Structure 1
């Protein structure tokens, strides 16, 4: 809690018993020069010690007067000058009237409420459509009763007025507040401000408790079938088309090359051919999944469709985290965010489900970002060992663009293109070397993953 209170200036009073006179040629001469120098030095020392306090008090005075109050004060001063210069009775009347208005507003700022306020929330994360229960505990630490007041609490872009009831001496009160999670994002709650103002709004006094909380509103997600985050479901991995000298899946034998390990020599083939032969293996791979989300707002027909795409991508990424798959989850990089890990891509943290969902809650639409074709090409050229790539985009890109995006990967990489379109009929079909899904609602995704052969 931050509560600003004013202190009375410390006054140093007393008498100086040291001599301030000097005798020269028998005459007594007052040391006015030295006394003036000492006063100036004392004034400079006082200013160095108290300049921050003076500036702080002056800033409080300036902040006390509202823009309307400054207008009234300016009109009063101008009318006073006109009345003095030209003797206009009307100007004197306006100056006195506006001055009285300012003086009448000052008593509304007197007094203070010795409040101790604490803001607590039942949870810091919520799904879209839910609600966060906020509780404001107010304690009157003073020996006098506190009259009802109205506090202001910023909740995201809105400003909520919180009524504080009458609280007796050393009493407490609890004010419950509900925060609906209407849309995905991050809601900043606080700081709470207690304002006192006059009825005309000329002067205002604020006391702020700098207690802030961040509420992450997660997108809706669907629980996908087990194994749908990757193609490989066995413990050792499935063989790929890449050949290696040491692995589990035997492929063929070849002639010995200088530098090959002798433990890989195939002695039966060596005896038959009379030439030293070694084993050759197919490289086995575990499910290394990449989820690529198209964050360009222009690729979606509406904001609802964009949020549907976020929900689909978050569901795929969340399933990969739950299954412990090696994963890479990214979207378009936009200026002002963290630097991209790959050209044009921003990797989302995915250590835990909560961390991943927090990242999706913070994600915003990108403007003037690279198209999805260039992003998939950059991902394919990054030499990441991938077994499946899921690309999530909107309904605006035509099928030819999506085919070009999928063609950037090699044949041993399974490509899944998810095209979201609000209220569209769910569909799954094979286009060239990739599986294309059409999702009209988040509830369609689990069945489409099964129909697409990914479970």
Structure 2
């Protein structure tokens, strides 16, 4: 429980300074017209009003207690609502009290609104605040949560706030393709036979009987027709052990209503869901400013919640989603992958190069490591619209920025292809389908 106890001095509002400016003009006019006594009376009346407002704010703020008992985020169909439960106590009334919560730029519903304001009811007790926020995947730092006491005329106010910051986590959306569509992709790709490896073996061919073959594999029809023992051979898939590398460095957090990181995180969740349903092993690795973090090996679809929690713990940098920055080098992630390549069958890198030569060199280095270890490497670059405009003016401003980002990305993708790397550069939904098809092509089939 966080208790709001830190009180700032009483300060004037913009209305007070505007009123004071107009009052000075009025007093000057009255003095020039020879109405000095009237001017003194008006000034005295104004001072009395300000004194009463000051007393009201001081009394209200000193007798008000407010504690934060719980904070959570409700998610519903792409929307998010921040809910804060408060325990409010005020005497004699809560009239004039407001709760304000500072939001980071990525959570603001409107581009110019970074502070949520809620007027409190006039009675004490428990209160639940519901504040609409943008659904942005990751860990966000919000706050401070402030209680503001304002006099009835709105001339003076006093802010009581929490020094501690509040942390909320928002998991990525599970935007996976329908299972029927997965079956269609699997049938169209080579090497895909069953949903669960080792079950539902399909007939491959017939060969001569050899000592040690099981009796249940005998092909009785061929044996009766030819007069000698024949056995059936079957094919079965070998499971994939995939490592999904999600780039969460600062340049990936550009874009609105979804950033490049969010597109990559949703693709990682969709691919993990698909592979786990296929009976494969998945590990998610995130590269961010906080270092390299690994989710550990996951072998069951029941562990999908671990992936969601893991990606929801990625901290957003202190920057606007409309700010372009150059990609930083992955550094330790490349060395970590080099040591892990021998134990995985495929590495899927979810990133955006934004035309960075440093990132291209890192991908080339990673490609050489994977070839030496016999591991397949797949690079997925989601091509998104980056910015959503709410007006024709914003659209005109963002059009140049969108064109610059996408053109740099396309040139970078062409450079990646020249390195003989498998790269998928499509819209997020198309990239998911293509990535699943490529993974199915990499799936090996054994003949038993």
* TM norm structure 1: 0.50
Name 2:150's counterpart in structure 1: 196
Whole-Å separation in 1 of the counterparts to 2:255 and 2:157: 47
Whole-Å separation in 2 of the counterparts to 1:296 and 1:187: 16
What is the 5 A alignment of 1:15-414?
63-66=9-12, 102-112=50-60, 113=63, 118-121=68-71, 123-124=72-73, 126=75, 129-132=78-81, 134=83, 136=85, 140=89, 146=93, 148-157=95-104, 158-167=114-123, 172=125, 174-185=127-138, 186=140, 188=142, 191-197=145-151, 199=153, 201=155, 203-208=156-161, 213-223=166-176, 287=241, 289-293=243-247, 295=249, 297=251, 304=258, 306=260, 307-316=262-271, 325=281, 327=283, 329-331=285-287, 333=288, 337-338=289-290, 346-350=291-295, 352-360=306-314, 362=316, 367-371=325-329, 378-379=335-336, 381-382=338-339, 384-385=341-342, 386-394=344-352, 396-397=354-355, 401=360, 404=364, 407-411=367-371, 412-414=374-376
Name 1:420's counterpart in structure 2: 382
In the superposition, relative to structure 1, how do residues 375 and 290 fare at CA in structure 2: closer, same or farther (>3 Å)? farther
| CA contact 1:192–1:211 (8 Å) conserved in 2 | no
Name 1:435's counterpart in structure 2: 422
Name 2:107's counterpart in structure 1: none
1:213 to partner: Cα distance = 4.5
| CA contact 1:129–1:183 (8 Å) conserved in 2 | no
Specify the SS of the correspondent of 1:408. helix
In structure 1, the gaps of 5 or more residues are 5-55, 74-88, 236-283, 339-345
| CA contact 1:137–1:173 (8 Å) conserved in 2 | yes
In the superposition, relative to structure 1, how do residues 325 and 163 fare at CA in structure 2: closer, same or farther (>3 Å)? same
Whole-Å separation in 2 of the counterparts to 1:138 and 1:392: 44
Name 2:206's counterpart in structure 1: none
Compare relative contact order (CA 8 Å, sep 6+) and give the higher one, 1 or 2: 2
Q: Highest CA radius of gyration, 1 or 2? A: 1
Whole-Å separation in 2 of the counterparts to 1:319 and 1:285: 12
Paired residues in the alignment total 312
In the superposition, relative to structure 1, how do residues 72 and 447 fare at CA in structure 2: closer, same or farther (>3 Å)? closer
Whole-Å separation in 1 of the counterparts to 2:10 and 2:253: 49
In the superposition, relative to structure 1, how do residues 173 and 295 fare at CA in structure 2: closer, same or farther (>3 Å)? closer
Whole-Å separation in 1 of the counterparts to 2:152 and 2:429: 52
In the superposition, relative to structure 1, how do residues 134 and 3 fare at CA in structure 2: closer, same or farther (>3 Å)? closer
In the superposition, relative to structure 1, how do residues 101 and 398 fare at CA in structure 2: closer, same or farther (>3 Å)? closer
1:416 to partner: Cα distance = 0.6
1:440 to partner: Cα distance = 0.5
Bigger Cα displacement from structure 2, 295-304 vs 403-412: 295-304
Whole-Å separation in 2 of the counterparts to 1:154 and 1:361: 19
In the superposition, relative to structure 1, how do residues 215 and 149 fare at CA in structure 2: closer, same or farther (>3 Å)? same
Whole-Å separation in 2 of the counterparts to 1:139 and 1:293: 43
In structure 2, the gaps of 5 or more residues are 21-35, 105-113, 199-237, 297-305, 386-405, 407-412, 444-448
| CA contact 1:126–1:218 (8 Å) conserved in 2 | no
Whole-Å separation in 1 of the counterparts to 2:126 and 2:65: 11
